[in-house]
A and B are shown apart, each in its own frame.
Chain A
C-alpha cells in the first residue's frame, strides 16, 4: 500500500506542476489576476506532496520492503541503519525522486518567502520552475518509477555498492543535489526576468541568496567528495579529473562567476545580460552533468547503472529547457536596457576579469571532458584526456585568477586610481616576494606551477584580509567577513594543493612482518596482519607502528571484502599531524608471504579541504549577511510607512 500511495502522491504533484505552469502562463498572457493568485499556493502544495512521496520511499528502504523492486535491488537487511536510509538515494530512481523533491521544495520556498520581486516576475519564475519540475516528474513516472513492485518478492536484497557505504558519501549526493537544484532556481529567476523584461537590482537581490546557497552546497559537496575519493579509493590522490568530478566542478565554476556578477548587478546595476546568461549557463552545467552521469556516454570510475533510454529522456529535457532559455535570451535580451557604466580600473572591472577567467577555466574543463566524446563521434578514435591537459591548461589561469582575486576586493566601485591600488597592495606584494625567496631557498628543485601556487597563495592570504584593515571589526558587515573568509579559503586550499603536489613522498614496498620503512619524517614498522569481521564484511587488517621523534602510534589499514554485493575496498589508515598526513594502504600478499604496502607522506594536504570548508563558511556568512540586511531594510521601510 505504501508504495502505491507514494506513486499516487507523485502523480498528484506532477499534475499540480502542470497546473502551476498553465495558470501562470495563461494568467500572465491575458492579465488574469484570479489565475495568477493560485500559483503561489499550488507551488507550496506541490512541494509538500513531493516531500511526502520521498519520505515514503525512505520509509520503504528503512523497513526493507523487498516487494518493491528498487528496495530489493539496493537494500539489504544486514546493512547499518544509516545506509538503509542513504540507500534510498544511492541509486538512479531514488536520486531522481530526491532531485524532483528538492526542485519542488525550492519552488515552494520561493513562493512562500520571496517578497521583493515584482509579482509578475515572481509568477513567471514559479512557472519556469514548474516547467522544469514537470519534465522530471514525467521522467520518474514514465521511465524510472521508484515505487515499481517486484513479484514474487525476493528473500533478501542485493545490497548497496560497498564503496558508497561510508558516512561521508551518504550525505555527498544530497549536498550536491541541493547545489544543482539551487541553481535551477537562479535559472527560473533569469527566465522569469526575461519574460517580464525586469532585469535589474531587485531581481539580482532576489536571486543572490539562492545562488549563494546553491554555491555553498556545491562547494561542500565537491570538498566532501574529494576527501572521500582521497581516503576511500586508496590511490592517494584528491582530484582525478574524472568526468563525474568535472560534472560537479563545471556548475561550481559557473556559479562562482554568477555570484560575483550578481553582486555587480545588485550593487551597481551593471552586467545585466551577462548575469542572465550566467544563470542559464550555471543550471545548464548542472543538467549536462546529470546527463553525462546518468547516460553513461562517458567512461568514468563512477559506474552508475546505465540505460540509453534514460539518457535520451534527459537529453530531450536538456534540449527543451536550455534551448528554450537561450532562445528566449536571444529574443529578449536586446530589449533589456543597458545597465550603468563603469571605468576599467574599478571593482566592477576586477569582477569582469574574475568572470572571464572563470569562464575560460569552465571552457577548458568542458572541452577536456567532452573531447573524447567529440573525437569518437568524428573520427571513431578512442582518446582519454587526463590530468596533464587539465593541469597545464587550467593551472596558469587559476594563478592569474588568484592575482586578480588579491586586487579585486581592494578596488572601489565605479572608478579607482591605479596608484592608490598599488599603495593598498604594497604589503601583500612584499609578502609575495618574501614567500618567493623563502620557497626557492628551502626547496630549490621545485616545479614552476607548485612554486607559483605557494607564492601566490601567500600574497592572496595577505590581500584577502586587507579589506578588514583599519576597520572597526565589530562594525564590519557580515557579508564582508564572508568575502574575507572565502577568499582566504582559496589561498589556504591553493597552498595545500601546491604543497601536496610538490612535496609528497611516496613508497611502494613489498613488506615482510617486522620490516621497517622510512617515509617523510616517519619510520613505519609493519607489525602484524590479522582477520577482522564487520556487520556486512570481513577484512584483513594490517597493524603498523609509525614513529616520529619520540612519539609513536599504531596504524591499521584494512582490505575489506563485502559479501552483498561481493566487492573489495581498501580502508586506508590516515594519521593527521599538524604539518601533513601519513597515509597507508594495505595491498595483496604475494606467494612468499610479503604484503604490498603503499606509504605516503603528504605535507599540508589537509589545507585543501580546510580551504574548501572556509570557502563554504564564507559563502554561508555572505548569504546570511545579505538576508539580514534586506530584512532590516524591509522592516525600516514598514516603520516609515
Chain B
C-alpha cells in the first residue's frame, strides 16, 4: 500500500506529460467555432452600412430560402481577397447578406466600388455586438443559414476558390 502511494506522483506527472504531448501533436488550430451552429440566429436589427443599401434584421434571414451571411469589414485585407469568390457565388444565384464590422459608410462605399457588391443587404455593426452574439470571432467569416433562420454551417477565414463547391453543397443541404 505504502509502495503504491509513493509511485502516484510519478503516475500523475506522466498523465500531465500525456496531455502536453497531445497538445503538441495536434495541428495548431486557433479557429474558434460558434456554439450556435445548429441553433437559430439570435434576434438583431442593424442599420444600413451605406446610404444606398438596405439594413439587415434577423427576420430577413427566415424567408424560407437558404442564404449566406458574410461577416466582413472594409479594413480587412482577406475580405478583399474573398470578394471575387462572393461575386461568383452571387452570380450562381446565391443570396448573400452581410454584417459590416466596425466600419464607416464612406470606407464601405469605396470598398464596394472597388471590389464589387455581391450583397443583397448590409447591416452595420459598429461595436461588434451582433458579431459576438452570433459567435463570430473574426473577419471574414461566412455562415450558411437555412430558410428557418437556423445556422447550418460556419466558414472561418476567407472563402478561397476551392471552398466554393463546399459552400454550394452546404447551401443545397440546407434547402
A356 within 8 Å of B (CB atoms): no
B-contact bits for A210-250, CB 8 A (1 contact / 0 none): 00000000000000000000000000000000000000000
* A288–B12 CA distance with the chains assembled, in angstroms: 14
A323-B17, A382-B32 are contacts. A277–B9 as well, Cβ < 8 Å? yes
Which residues, 1 to 24 on B, are CB-close (under 8 Å) to A? 2-3, 6-7, 9-10, 13-14, 16-17, 19-24
Query: Which of chain A's residues have a CB closer than 8 A to the CB of B13?
Result: 284, 322-323, 326
A73 within 8 Å of B (CB atoms): no
A329 within 8 Å of B (CB atoms): yes
Other A-B pairs beyond A297-B24, A326-B9, A382-B33, 17, CB < 8 Å: A295-B24, A296-B28, A297-B20, A299-B30, A311-B24, A318-B20, A319-B14, A319-B17, A326-B13, A327-B10, A330-B6, A334-B3, A374-B19, A377-B19, A377-B23, A377-B26, A591-B104
Q: How many residues of A contact B (CB 8 A)?
A: 31
Partner of B19, one of A311, A318, A319, A370: A370
Q: Are A373 and B19 in contact (CB under 8 A)?
A: yes
Which residues, 434 to 465 on A, are CB-close (under 8 Å) to B? none
Q: Are B20 and A315 in contact (CB under 8 A)?
A: yes
Query: Which of chain B's residues have a CB closer than 8 A to the CB of A329?
Result: 6, 9-10
Q: How far is the CB of A184 from chain B (nearest CB, A)?
A: 17
Q: How far is the CB of A181 from chain B (nearest CB, A)?
A: 21
Partner of B17, one of A277, A308, A315: A315
Which residues, 89 to 143 on B, are CB-close (under 8 Å) to A? 104
Closest to A366 in B: B16
**Majority secondary structure, A binding face:** helix
* A297–B25 CA distance with the chains assembled, in angstroms: 10
Contact-residue size bin, chain B (C-beta under 8 Å from the other chain): 20 to 34
Closest to A384 in B: B32
A600 within 8 Å of B (CB atoms): no
Partner of B22, one of A295, A296, A298, A377: A377
Partner of B9, one of A295, A330, A377: A330
Q: How many A-B residue pairs have CB under 8 A?
A: 62
Closest to A288 in B: B16
Q: Are A312 and B24 in contact (CB under 8 A)?
A: yes
Q: Are A334 and B19 in contact (CB under 8 A)?
A: no
Query: Which of chain A's residues have a CB closer than 8 A to the CB of B28?
Result: 296, 306, 308
Query: Which of chain A's residues have a CB closer than 8 A to the CB of B30?
Result: 299
Report which B residues bind A (CB closer than 8 A): 2-3, 6-7, 9-10, 13-14, 16-17, 19-24, 26, 28, 30, 32-33, 104
**Majority secondary structure, B binding face:** helix
A137 within 8 Å of B (CB atoms): no
A333 within 8 Å of B (CB atoms): yes
* A333–B2 CA distance with the chains assembled, in angstroms: 11
Query: Which of chain B's residues have a CB closer than 8 A to the CB of A373?
Result: 19-20, 23
Closest to A280 in B: B9
Q: Are A333 and B6 in contact (CB under 8 A)?
A: yes
The 8 A-B residue pairs with the shortest CB-CB distance, nearest first, are A297-B23, A326-B10, A377-B22, A330-B6, A330-B7, A311-B24, A373-B23, A326-B9
Q: How far is the CB of A305 from chain B (nearest CB, A)?
A: 13
Q: How far is the CB of B171 from chain A (nearest CB, A)?
A: 26
* A377–B20 CA distance with the chains assembled, in angstroms: 9
Closest to B8 in A: A330
Closest to B11 in A: A326
Q: Are B24 and A315 in contact (CB under 8 A)?
A: yes
Which residues, 187 to 220 on A, are CB-close (under 8 Å) to B? none
A89 within 8 Å of B (CB atoms): no
Closest to B32 in A: A382
Closest to B104 in A: A591
Closest to A311 in B: B24
Query: Which of chain A's residues have a CB closer than 8 A to the CB of B19?
Result: 370, 373-374, 377
Query: Which of chain B's residues have a CB closer than 8 A to the CB of A333?
Result: 6
Q: How far is the CB of A314 from chain B (nearest CB, A)?
A: 9
Query: Which of chain B's residues have a CB closer than 8 A to the CB of A296?
Result: 28
Which residues, 326 to 341 on A, are CB-close (under 8 Å) to B? 326-327, 329-330, 333-334
Which residues, 555 to 603 on A, are CB-close (under 8 Å) to B? 591
* A330–B14 CA distance with the chains assembled, in angstroms: 14
Q: List 18 A-B contacts (CB under 8 A).
A: A284-B13, A291-B20, A295-B20, A295-B23, A298-B23, A306-B28, A311-B24, A315-B20, A315-B24, A318-B20, A319-B17, A323-B13, A323-B14, A326-B9, A327-B10, A330-B6, A334-B3, A377-B26
Query: Which of chain B's residues have a CB closer than 8 A to the CB of A323?
Result: 10, 13-14, 17
Closest to B106 in A: A591
Closest to B27 in A: A308
